[in-house]
A and B are shown apart, each in its own frame.
Chain A
Amino acid sequence: MMEMRRTIRCLAIFVILIILFSPITENSSGLGLERTDQQPSRDEFDVTITNLTLSNIEPKEGDNITISVTVRNNESFPIPNENIPIQNLTIRLIRFEQNITERKISMEAKTNSTFEFEWEAEGGRQTITAFLSAELADSKERVPLDEMSREIWVEPEPIGDIYSPIIALFLVFAVIFGSAVIPSIWSYLTDRNSSREKK
């Protein structure tokens, strides 16, 4: 008897839990939108970066490089679109965690689009990363969709020249070693002046 009551109680709790959580499972987007084929949930956007290319792969510091980012929209709806839960599709280019540039883009359904960005190359080994992200319509939270990186070697301009430190070092040593004989020259000059005055 006790065993049966416990089983019934467990079943009742289970049923109550199902009833309580049923609205979430039915509408997991939580945005008040009914799921249709054209409006997927926030996790299901199929927008990706398919290519990241640089106009010059052996640039020198200061060269202007065109960075091309190709984005593929595999969805059956265009972006931006008022009926979908994301907006402000953005490409952000970064280098060593520093923003190079950022641009809002729009995409037609089932198409590839290439976006070009200008960048003045900085010397050394550089990693250029393109981030594709969008903003959730309800919370304005930015969600990452895809990213792609390219590494590039930018021939740096040399700092200074080799002759300046050589001259500087020579100057320092000449003054320091030369200062050892300054007192004798000084005393010679002052003695000569005083002996002239006596005469």
Chain B
Amino acid sequence: MKPIREDILEDMKNTCLTVSFELKKHFRMKRMVISFALAIGLPLIFYIVPRIWASFPDTAEEFARLNLSFVNLLIIISGSLFAGDAVVGEYEEKTGLLLFSTPQRHTTIFIGKYIGALVPTLAVVSIYYLTTSLEIIGIYGTGEITSEFFKSFLIALIYTSSAVSLIFFFSSVLKRKITSTLLGFFSLMMILPIVSSVLQFIVDVEPWYILTYTEGLITDVFVGAPPIGGGPGGQPGLFSPDFYVGISVMIIYTLVLFFLGVFIATRRRME
């Protein structure tokens, strides 16, 4: 029997090996280049267009709120890109026949794959925030980077981990890469927001348990800026997510879907 210390170190080494392999794969497939370009290009639109045709909003908070209301779009796109085929790809392309026969524990493979999808998505979000903060400094000055901006950044990171967990879960359950990527993308982009809107505007119930509803916290923390129309017809929603409940919901989604995804993936057999 191996000593536990060696065993733990080996597991950690194997996880790191899978993470580095996944990162290299994303880099080779130009996914990183595409998403990093989007992370720089999208916030630049909010700088270039007003600079040429209009004027900037009056306050840095308004500018940040407007700019960051699109960060969820980037989270969904990059999450689908990096996590959409994380598990299902091994089964569909039969590369799992080689990978699963190695002495590495299956759990470390899937945890490594999850981290390999999470790290670049977090990097994309960080680049988006970095570009936005540089714009704010350029327009309004250094003093306008407030604690609300950091709060929004941290919430965006937590939301990213929950979005990646959801897509990773679909990747563990489904049989086709395209189905898992599209289902992950559309559930965050359309299905969950529609459910949330129906509950808000038709049933008149606060959908605090819906993941995409809590995403509103990313911009809601900028309390000084007027609300941006989010509901049907451009009207702001009837409810706004509670800060602590929203964060708790994101954590629960992240951990439950992550463990479920890893559990299902380790039980799955090659067909």
**Contact in complex: B225, A124 (CB < 8 Å):** yes
Q: Are A169 and B7 neighbours in the complex by a CB distance under 8 Å?
A: no
Contact digits for B252-265, partner A, Cβ 8 Å, 1 yes 0 no: 00110011001000
Question: Nearest chain-B residue to A158 (Cβ)?
Answer: B223
Query: Which applies to chain A's interface (DSSP): helix, strand, loop or mixed?
Result: helix
Among residues of B, the one whose C-beta sits closest to the C-beta of A166 is B154
B224 near A165: Cβ-Cβ < 8 Å: no
Across the interface, A176 reaches (CB within 8 A) one of B4, B111, B151, namely B111
Q: Are A125 and B255 in contact (CB under 8 A)?
A: no
Q: A164 interface residue, CB < 8 Å from B?
A: yes
Q: Are A156 and B224 interface neighbours, CB within 8 A?
A: yes
Is A180 touching B15 in the complex (CB atoms < 8 A)? yes
Are B251's CB and A171's CB within 8 A? Answer: yes
* B residues 111-166 in Cβ contact with A at 8 Å: 111-112, 114-115, 118, 147-148, 150-151, 154-155, 157-158, 161
Overall SS of chain B's interface: helix
> In the complex, what distance in Å separates the CA atom of A100 from the CA atom of B82?
49
Bound-state Cα–Cα, A179 to B11, Å:
10
A162 and B255 contacting across the interface, CB-CB below 8 Å: no
Q: Does B35 contact A (CB under 8 A)?
A: no
B-side interface size class: 35 or more
Task: Establish whether residues B157 and A169, one from each chain, have CB atoms under 8 Å apart when the complex forms.
Answer: yes
Query: With A164-B247, A172-B251, A183-B11 given, is the CB distance from A123 to B223 under 8 Å?
Result: yes
The listed residue (A172, A179, A191) touching B161 by CB distance below 8 A is A172
Measured CA separation A168–B10 after assembly (Å)? 28
Task: Give Cα A195–Cα B2 distance, bound, in whole angstroms.
Answer: 13
28 contacts between A and B (CB under 8 A): A123-B223, A124-B225, A158-B223, A159-B220, A159-B221, A160-B151, A160-B217, A162-B150, A164-B243, A165-B157, A168-B158, A168-B247, A169-B154, A171-B251, A172-B254, A172-B255, A176-B114, A176-B258, A177-B115, A179-B259, A179-B262, A180-B15, A180-B111, A181-B12, A183-B105, A184-B7, A184-B8, A187-B7
B66 to chain A, nearest CB (A): 14
Please tell me if the beta carbons of B4 and A124 are within 8 angstroms of each other in the complex: no
User: In the complex, A124 Cα to B228 Cα: how many Å?
Assistant: 13
Interface string of A55-98 (1 = CB under 8 A from B): 00000000000000000000000000000000000000000100
- Check B255–A175 contact: CB distance below 8 A: yes
B114: chain A residues at CB < 8 Å are: 176
Known: A159-B223, A176-B114, A177-B115. A165 touches B11 (CB 8 A): no
B interface residues with partner A (beta carbon < 8 Å): 1, 4, 7-8, 10-12, 15, 105, 107-108, 111-112, 114-115, 118, 147-148, 150-151, 154-155, 157-158, 161, 217, 220-221, 223-226, 243-244, 247, 250-251, 254-255, 258-259, 262
Task: Report Cα–Cα, A165/B221, bound state, in Å.
Answer: 12
Inside 8 A of A96's CB, which chain B residues have their CB?
226
Q: CA of A172 to CA of B10 in the docked complex: distance in angstroms?
A: 22
A165 to B262, CA, bound (A): 25
Q: How many chain A residues touch the partner (CB < 8 A)? A: 32
| A175 to B108 CA separation, bound complex (whole angstroms) | 14
With A162-B151, A165-B151, A176-B114 as known contacts, state yes or no: A125 contacts B226, CB within 8 Å: yes
Q: Answer whether residue A188 sits at the interface, using C-beta atoms and an 8 A cutoff.
A: yes
CB-defined contacts of A125 to chain B, threshold 8 Å? 224, 226
Judge whether B151 and A184 touch: CB under 8 Å.
no
Which of B1, B10, B111, B250 contacts A191 (CB under 8 A)?
Answer: B1
Q: Which residues of A contact B254 (CB under 8 A)?
A: 172, 176
